[in-house]
Structure 1
Amino acid sequence: MKVYYVYILTNQNHTVLYIGVTNDLMRRVAEHKAAVHEGFTKKYKVDKLMYFEESPSIMAAIEREKQQKAGSRPKKLALINANNPYWKDLTEPGE
């Protein structure tokens, strides 16, 4: 079964949030970290994975991405705080 991910990234100071969708979360985050693609995340150095959720279909994942993007900043922050209260980069090894 194919799995899709909706994810939220931030920058070093947590001032910028980016929401995306992918079918390979670790590869996509690695691309953000390496700044391979020109655009928003490279310009603002948005490369820390704060939150993600799985979806069984691309259509459901895209719909969820749209919902999150349309939400207010406080709603996005609440989602991160509820699931990752210490704002740890979820790609970093545990302590």
Structure 2
Amino acid sequence: MVLIINHGRNLEFLNAEQFVVLRDICELKKLQDAEYTVLLLDVDITDEGIIKELSAFFEEIVISLRVLAVITTRKSEKLREICNFHQISLLEID
């Protein structure tokens, strides 16, 4: 599954059953038990590890779900630190 956290992008899906857009951190408990790749599109992670657009800690996602990899369009030293600690693959796209 691909978990998308998006800020300001209009997304169009084809065969969308493998995509989940997270709009609120409370939706985490409703997600199915599966392995996820997290896609962060234009999302900022603060030095404290907070996702600005959700006002929630990124580590909440990592602890709550089985995250295999993270793909981001914005570099963050804190995100690198979290992924390294939890041994999650990270891809940063400029």
Q: Which one has the bigger strand percentage?
A: 2
Do the two structures share a fold, i.e. TM-score over 0.5?
no
TM-score, with normalisation over the residues of structure 1? 0.24
Higher relative contact order (CA 8 A, sep 6+): 1
TM-score, with normalisation over the residues of structure 2? 0.24
